[in-house]
Amino acid sequence: MRADARRNRERILKAARAVFGEQGIEAQIDDVAKRAKVGVGTVYRHYPTKEALRDALVRERFEEIAGYAEEALRRDDAWEGFCELIWRAAERNAADRAFCEVVAFTDQSSIVEETGLAGSTALLMERAKALGKLRADATPVDIPIMMAGAGSVMRAHASPAVWRRYLTIMLDGLRAP
Amino acid sequence: MRADARRNRERILKAARAVFGEQGIEAQIDDVAKRAKVGVGTVYRHYPTKEALRDALVRERFEEIAGYAEEALRRDDAWEGFCELIWRAAERNAADRAFCEVVAFTDQSSIVEETGLAGSTALLMERAKALGKLRADATPVDIPIMMAGAGSVMRAHASPAVWRRYLTIMLDGLRAP
Amino acid sequence: MRADARRNRERILKAARAVFGEQGIEAQIDDVAKRAKVGVGTVYRHYPTKEALRDALVRERFEEIAGYAEEALRRDDAWEGFCELIWRAAERNAADRAFCEVVAFTDQSSIVEETGLAGSTALLMERAKALGKLRADATPVDIPIMMAGAGSVMRAHASPAVWRRYLTIMLDGLRAP
Amino acid sequence: MRADARRNRERILKAARAVFGEQGIEAQIDDVAKRAKVGVGTVYRHYPTKEALRDALVRERFEEIAGYAEEALRRDDAWEGFCELIWRAAERNAADRAFCEVVAFTDQSSIVEETGLAGSTALLMERAKALGKLRADATPVDIPIMMAGAGSVMRAHASPAVWRRYLTIMLDGLRAP
DNA sequence: CATGAATGAGACTTCATTCAT
DNA sequence: TATGAATGAAGTCTCATTCAT
């Protein structure tokens, strides 16, 4: 890919992050283009539909979170790693309106699978169960569920205190009795 | 209000319940009117904006749930009453796409307040705490939070098993340690 | 249908006739709306797609021509009736750019069938053959063929003399040897 | 012109023939470039507009047909030569969607003139008239007319039988009575 | 009061052509 | 000279809301 194309692609992604983050999935491609100081056509050249752009953003974020999961796996206490993963992911997502909307309303399990997040989380949870700290019946699907829930709580209630409270309860619910 | 006007209002509400329930907030007023066998103008006469109609539906549902809360208050064990309230509300909401979307994405606390649901729940939770069954730091805002979470889980994952699992974890998280 | 709706529908059709006639199938719906002094939405209410509007125009014209065919059937000499039909249809179409384009490039046989033009023409041709004036191997499909040919000649060559010459040759070709 | 430039020009023409032939005038320059394995810029360097490229293709074809006309002139019977010319040209054009569209909708007489096709045809027709086989009032403009008609028939009706029938009638119409 | 036709801003997307690399 | 990324006007269609009948 040519240097200028890569530069533009970056600009578009950056602009998209901002615009989607502020306005949610309803954000307009024209606004993204304007923000990126690029013609609409350029946006469409890189991402052939609005959905493609949105998915790129979502995937990017899940890749980042997959990175957190890798780090969490390196911790001694898998349960603590698990909790930290959840908290870090949530902190990261809190300001991103579109991401919250997407995970809250659509099943993103294929992306979760592809980014390796599913795998790492499964491993992490198994270990946490082995430690007797995670409830035995917890499953990897609980993660998307929590994220969906957290996403909507974040969208519906401005205050971080509210979603933090939500996560606290949720994690307590997941702790082994 | 004239008799026919009241009748129309009822028809509109009924149609709106069906249409919004099936199609979510994106549903069109025209469809509601068509279903109600009424002109769009009539819908707008009763509910000046789409939001007004949606709010009427939401309020109606919260009033129903407030009724459940009243019943729950009459039970001997407040914690059991609380759990039952949550489960009944969830069962009720599960099939209503628009309701899920609304509670998942917007703060409906004023309606919750006005319908008396806030008050009953507060009382119920106090009693459950007194029994030592609800965690001491639980607060009435946890209810809308749970509903937001459940709403999004319901929208994102078709299977009832998924949101039931979600509620189970959530209620376990709320149980006194 | 309400009086104002019918009036608008008429205005739209009239505007469409003019705009499509002048600019061909590429004409824009916005222009039709502007010409009809009506919002775009109104055009789309009456004709849900551009194609629907175009088809309405085409059908209208074929109905008119089907009327000519009825008249032609009432003439004593079927061959003369046939020729007259062709000439009248051509005169009618000559000024209509979109119609020429449509018949020149797309098979409109279903509309030809539905308007009854196919039937009348078949009858007319049978009689003309019985008189020994139309070549025995001529078939009703030759009509759309002639119209396609005439349409393109009309579009490609401004002068009426050119397409009249075309029709003359064509009809001579159809005359019994 | 440099050797590689000439080579590119050839590749572009070849690709354009294929792409326009398949998709008609609506074909995109990008597709031509892709097929030619060349950048769009290169196409535009050789042919400054889409029309220029299309015209090059049309001219090329008319030159080929002019060659047929030369051959036809060498035949003993000018009328037979004329008929053969028409048939050969038609067979050649039938598979070329863009060519059909161009001749069906635009007057290409200047190209017909420039390629010498006009001259050869005029001569051929004069001779055929002298033989008493071509109708006396036939003129060289009848050729583009027939081609326009045939082009549209070819586009509108998939089956070769249909346009062959068209040409048969047309040639019968041109035969001296 | 009821009706439903009309409105029109605004959304997404395409593609001929230009121009930086 | 070649490349192909960038441009952006323009086109189709939608839908919340208004208003004439």
Proximity of residue D104 CB to strand E below 7 A: no
Whether the predicted pLDDT of D2 surpasses 90: no
CATH class of C1-48: mainly alpha
pLDDT the model gives residue B157:
86
B abuts C (3+ Cβ pairs < 8 Å) = no
pLDDT the model gives residue A17:
97
Proximity of residue B52 CB to strand F below 7 A: no
Q: What is the pLDDT along chain A (177 residues), one digit of tens a residue?
A: 788 899 999 999 999 999 999 999 999 999 999 999 999 999 999 999 999 999 999 999 999 999 999 999 999 999 999 999 999 999 999 999 999 999 999 999 999 999 999 999 999 999 999 999 999 999 998 988 999 999 999 999 889 999 999 999 999 999 998
Subunits close to A (at least 3 CB pairs below 8 A): B
The answer to whether residue C166 neighbours chain D at the CB level (below 8 Å) is: yes
Q: Distances from the Cα of B1 to the Cαs of B4, B12, B46, B52, C94, in angstroms?
A: 8, 15, 11, 19, 62
pLDDT the model gives residue D157:
85
Helix (H, G, I), strand (E, B) or coil at D175: strand
The mean pLDDT value for B14-30 works out to 96
Work out whether the CA dihedral D128, D131, D133, D136 comes out positive or negative. Answer: positive
Q: Which residue is nearest to nucleotide F14 (CA to C1')?
A: C41
pLDDT the model gives residue A176:
95
Say how far D6 CA is from F1 C1', in Å: 12
Proximity of residue D48 CB to strand F below 7 A: no
pLDDT confidence of B5, banded at 50, 70, 90?
confident
A117-130 and A50-73 helices cross at what angle (nearest 10)? 30
Say how far A28 CA is from E9 C1', in Å: 14
Q: Which residues of B134-166 are buried (b: 16+ CB within 10 A; e: fewer)?
A: bbeebebbbbbbbbbbbbbbbbbbeeeebbbbb
CA A155 vs. chain centroid, Å, equals: 14
The answer to whether residue B25 neighbours chain A at the CB level (below 8 Å) is: no
**Chain B residues near residue A150 by CB distance under 8 angstroms:** 149
Nearest to B145 among A144, A165, A174 (CB): A165
Instruction: Fill in the DSSP letter of residue A49.
Output: S
Domain with CATH 1.10.10.60 in chain C: 1-48
pLDDT confidence of B2, banded at 50, 70, 90?
confident
Residue pLDDT, tens place only, C43-73 = 999 999 999 999 999 999 999 999 999 999 9
* Straight-line distance from the first to the last Cα atom of chain A, in angstroms, rounded to the nearest whole number: 54
The answer to whether residue A169 neighbours chain B at the CB level (below 8 Å) is: yes
Q: Distances from the Cα of B176 to the Cαs of A161, B84, B132, B134, in angstroms?
A: 21, 17, 6, 5
Residue pLDDT, tens place only, B60-117 = 999 999 999 999 999 999 999 999 999 999 999 999 999 999 999 999 999 999 999 9
Chain F nucleotides covered by protein, CB below 7 Å: 1-21
**Chain D residues near residue C171 by CB distance under 8 angstroms:** 173
What gap in Å lies between CA A158 and CA B9, rounded to an integer? 34
The mean pLDDT value for B156-166 works out to 91
A abuts D (3+ Cβ pairs < 8 Å) = no
pLDDT the model gives residue C18:
96
Q: Which residue is nearest to nucleotide E14 (CA to C1')?
A: A41
Kindly identify which residue of chain D lies nearest to residue C139, measuring between CA atoms. D165
Query: Torsion angle of alpha carbons C83, C84, C85, C88, nearest 10°?
Result: 130
Mutation for C interface: D112, D152, D154, D159, most C CBs within 10 A = D152
Backbone φ and ψ of B175, nearest 5°: -65, 145
The mean pLDDT value for B30-45 works out to 96
The answer to whether residue D159 neighbours chain C at the CB level (below 8 Å) is: no
Q: DSSP assignment of A94-134, as one string? A: TT-HHHHHHHHHS--HHHHHHTTHHHHHHHHHHHHHHTT-B
Domain boundaries A55-174, corresponding CATH code:
1.10.357
Nearest to B107 among A142, A156, A171 (CB): A156
pLDDT confidence of D3, banded at 50, 70, 90?
confident
The answer to whether residue B101 neighbours chain A at the CB level (below 8 Å) is: yes
Mutation for A interface: B93, B107, B145, most A CBs within 10 A = B145
Average pLDDT across chain B, whole number: 95
Domain with CATH 1.10.357 in chain B: 55-174
Kindly identify which residue of chain C lies nearest to residue D177, measuring between CA atoms. C177
pTM for the whole structure: 0.90
Residue pLDDT, tens place only, D125-159 = 999 999 999 999 999 999 989 999 999 999 988 79
Whether the predicted pLDDT of B158 surpasses 90: no
Nearest to A104 among B106, B152, B169 (CB): B152
What gap in Å lies between CA A166 and CA A159, rounded to an integer? 11
Average pLDDT across chain D, whole number: 95
Partners of residue A134 on adjacent β-strands:
A175
The answer to whether residue C143 neighbours chain D at the CB level (below 8 Å) is: no
C117-130 and C78-93 helices cross at what angle (nearest 10)? 140
pLDDT the model gives residue D163:
94
Nearest to D169 among C142, C153, C158 (CB): C142
Q: Pick out the nucleotide with least CA–C1' distance to A7.
A: F5
